């Protein structure tokens, strides 16, 4: 037992929606309830460098976070929140430089020196190519922006964490604990090598760069394994920083991490079970003092249903507070010290991670492994194997494939009120706001700042100062990213589907569907073709990838072009490929805008009779509306049997073609 209890970790809630004003009110409410840090969720247009009035932003504004396209919105977001007293985490990657610059300018307007700011920008672009898909530029220019930010903050904002290596989304995309360790650490190596090689930080100051790198990890329900994973992370990081970068100060080698526990395992069926899942996942990153998270944010029990309400977020915050303040956890030294079982598992994870790190480094490092598609393929395969185990009943998920009998739940008796609905006027208001912002600014100053940005992007000048000038001049996120797109170009990452492993021997059910696909194709005189499309800016492609893999295994010819497509592009591909069915995957809440747009384009292109199916986190009332409007089928997370989904797709194709 320790003489004095440890201080608890920073307690956050990942939040932001609709508008800067509404998000500001939510932040101040959460802080009043005992939250000790802010974690800002930005909407997809802000994350991918588009203004609210861009074509690709349709349906996405204010849905999964708050729209912050310009300095005025950033001012509103932190109104009456003193930034010199706040530790702010911003989940932002491709446009991280832009958001940090706006945060700095707002702080200066509050009279706060940049050197006093503390917080984190995620800024891990490599995992965006592998999981969330909110990248803008290719790996090389993206790494240049990251390098420039790190070099700037080490000198100008020394308490800031400019890079938060995010293995969280790797696990969400199917990574095993070994892959999560290996791919996160190879990402850190790629970034640190880039900063070192840029020459922007003197050699004798480089350990300060290493010391400001933090991590953001995931914790699944196998909490013993997750505890061991975190101990393995700490030991591997200490070894890499000491041996590869020569860091002598133990404080600079410390593995510093925050955590959001697993959302992948949250279920739509019997969602009340998610509460105990979240608690067990929290224990995996808090029980071991020597590997305890420095910041924790928990999802809400109903995130598989839709957007959590303030009360749901409060429940998750209270889970942390009960553990920290009612239990005796913080009164003891590391309770796993000397455990033979824990040490054996840690050693096993370290051995596996080192082998995978060596494999990636032999390919040329993390960037090369992204560009070749290796890491993406490995995770798609792991995810496919996990799904197959659930479908076969080998991996039990309570309430989904086992113990499915249930009493009616008072929590979900009225599903339409069990989640929060984003402000339906958020998009229109944001469009009006950004147009008004453009009208009141000095356009000549904006043009001059963006021209400077482009000139310096073509050189090796650090781009942070040019970005700050653009912020102060009144440029928008879409203009900043657009200027850099003209210099750096755009990029489409490998999907990982074509080279992923197969679950072709999945048993009688899949064999029966294969035969049905084959025979239906024979009746139509051609192989059945399925287009899997992701309209809008939603980059969470895990579901789309798994559907594409299973459809291929079921005998379909699959057309999947990846993320971030307009409805017109999806329909044009469907016409060109003469597909028999279109499947849309939408997890960002934009289905009620984008699905009708796709339907309209299908009719205009003469393929209105092709069945359209939709999958995603879709409230039941919305599903009913879409089916009434002609959508053939709607699938949500409760429909975990993908082979059954394939069977339904064939049925819809047969119905559309008048086959008995």
Catalytically annotated residues: 14, 168-169, 534, 538, 540
- As a residue count, the chain comes to 660
Three-state SS for 586? strand
Q: Which residue carries 């955590």 as its tokens?
A: 259
- Asked if 184 contacts 165 with a C-beta cutoff of 8 angstroms, the reply is yes
Nearest to 285 by CA among 185, 180, 192: 180
How large is the angle between the packed helices 96-109 and 139-156, nearest 10 degrees? 30
The CA-based angle 538-541-545, given to 5 degrees, is 150
CA distance 72 to 102: 9
Q: CA-based Rg of the chain, rounded to a whole angstrom?
A: 24
Q: Which run of H or of E encompasses 41?
A: strand 38-41
CA distance 410 to 433: 40
Nearest to 41 by CA among 308, 275, 238, 234: 308
CA contacts within 13 A on the Cβ side of 428? 4
CA distance 42 to 425: 17
Residue 14 has φ and ψ, to the nearest 5°, of: -75, 115
How large is the angle between the packed helices 477-488 and 443-457, nearest 10 degrees? 30
Three-state SS for 221? coil
Nearest to 510 by CA among 498, 521, 502, 499: 502
Q: Which run of H or of E encompasses 53?
A: none
Q: Can you spell out the DSSP letters for 129-196?
A: IIII----S-HHHHHHHHHHHHHHHHHH-TTEE-EEEE-HHHHHTT--HHHHHHHHHHHHHHHHHHHH
**Using CA of residue 9, residue 15, residue 19, residue 22, what is the dihedral sign?**
negative
Q: CB count, 10 Å around CB of 4?
A: 7
List Cβ neighbours of 595 (8 Å cut-off, separation of 6 or more). Answer: 584, 586, 612, 614, 626, 631
CA distance 88 to 110: 16
Structure tokens at 509: 């059910």
Residue 550, CA distances (Å) to 348, 532, 547 in order: 31, 12, 5
């Amino acid at each position: 037992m320790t003489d004095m209890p440890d201080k608890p970790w920073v307690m956050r809630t990942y939040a932001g929606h609709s508008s800067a004003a509404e998000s500001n009110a939510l932040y101040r409410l959460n802080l009043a309830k005992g939250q000790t840090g802010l974690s800002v969720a930005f909407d997809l247009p802000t994350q991918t460098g588009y203004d609210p009035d861009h074509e690709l932003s349709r349906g996405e504004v204010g849905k999964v976070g708050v729209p912050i396209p310009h300095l005025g919105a950033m001012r509103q977001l932190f109104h009456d929140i003193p930034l010199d007293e706040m530790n702010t985490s911003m989940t932002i990657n491709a446009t991280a430089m832009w958001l940090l610059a706006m945060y700095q300018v707002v702080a200066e307007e509050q009279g706060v020196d940049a050197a006093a700011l503390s917080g984190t920008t995620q800024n891990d672009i490599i995992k965006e190519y592998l999981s969330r898909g909110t990248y803008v530029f290719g790996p090389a220019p993206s790494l240049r922006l990251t390098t420039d930010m790190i070099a700037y903050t080490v000198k100008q904002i020394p308490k800031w964490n400019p890079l938060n290596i995010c293995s969280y989304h790797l696990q969400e995309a199917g990574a095993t604990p070994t892959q999560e360790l290996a791919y996160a650490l190879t990402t850190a190596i790629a970034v640190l090598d880039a900063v070192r090689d840029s020459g922007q930080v003197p050699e004798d100051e480089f350990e300060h760069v290493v010391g400001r790198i933090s991590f953001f990890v995931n914790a699944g329900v196998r909490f013993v394994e997750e505890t061991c994973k975190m101990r393995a992370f700490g030991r591997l990081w200490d070894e890499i920083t000491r041996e590869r970068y020569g860091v002598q100060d133990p404080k600079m080698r410390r593995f510093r991490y925050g955590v959001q526990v697993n959302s992948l395992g949250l279920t739509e069926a019997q969602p009340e079970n998610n509460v105990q899942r979240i608690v067990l996942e929290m224990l995996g990153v808090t029980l071991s003092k020597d590997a305890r998270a420095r910041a924790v944010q928990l999802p809400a029990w109903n995130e598989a249903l839709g957007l959590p309400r303030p009360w749901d977020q409060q429940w998750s915050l209270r889970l942390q507070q009960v553990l920290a303040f009612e239990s005796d956890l913080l009164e003891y030294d590391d309770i796993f010290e000397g455990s033979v079982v824990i040490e054996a598992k840690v050693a096993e994870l370290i051995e596996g991670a080192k082998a995978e790190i060596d494999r990636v480094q032999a390919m040329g490092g993390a960037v090369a492994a992204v560009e070749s598609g290796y890491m993406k393929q490995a995770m798609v395969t792991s995810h496919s194997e996990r799904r197959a185990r659930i479908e076969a009943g080998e991996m039990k998920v309570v309430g989904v494939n086992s113990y499915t009998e249930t009493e009616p739940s008072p929590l979900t008796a009225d599903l339409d009120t069990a989640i929060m609905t984003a402000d339906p006027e958020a998009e229109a208001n944001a469009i009006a706001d950004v147009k008004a912002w453009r009208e009141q600014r000095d356009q000549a100053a904006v043009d001059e700042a963006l021209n400077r940005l482009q000139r310096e992007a073509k050189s090796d000048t650090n781009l942070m100062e040019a970005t700050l000038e653009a912020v102060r001049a009144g440029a928008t996120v879409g203009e900043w990213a657009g200027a850099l797109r003209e210099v750096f170009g755009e990029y489409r990452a490998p999907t990982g589907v074509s080279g992923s492993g197969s679950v072709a021997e999945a048993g009688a059910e899949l064999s029966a569907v294969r035969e049905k696909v084959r025979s239906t194709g024979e009746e139509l005189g051609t192989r059945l073709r399925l287009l899997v499309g992701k309209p809008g800016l939603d980059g969470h492609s895990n579901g789309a990838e798994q559907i594409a893999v299973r459809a291929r295994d079921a005998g379909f010819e699959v057309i999947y072009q990846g993320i971030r497509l307009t409805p017109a592009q999806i329909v044009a591909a469907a016409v060109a490929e003469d597909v028999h069915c279109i499947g849309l995957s939408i997890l960002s809440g934009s289905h009620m805008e984008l699905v009708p747009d796709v339907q309209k384009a299908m009719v205009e292109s003469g393929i209105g009779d092709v069945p359209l199916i939709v999958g995603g986190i879709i409230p039941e009332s919305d599903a009913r509306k879409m089916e009434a409007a002609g959508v053939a089928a709607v699938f949500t997370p409760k429909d975990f049997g993908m082979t059954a989904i394939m069977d339904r797709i064939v049925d819809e194709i047969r119905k559309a073609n008048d086959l008995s």
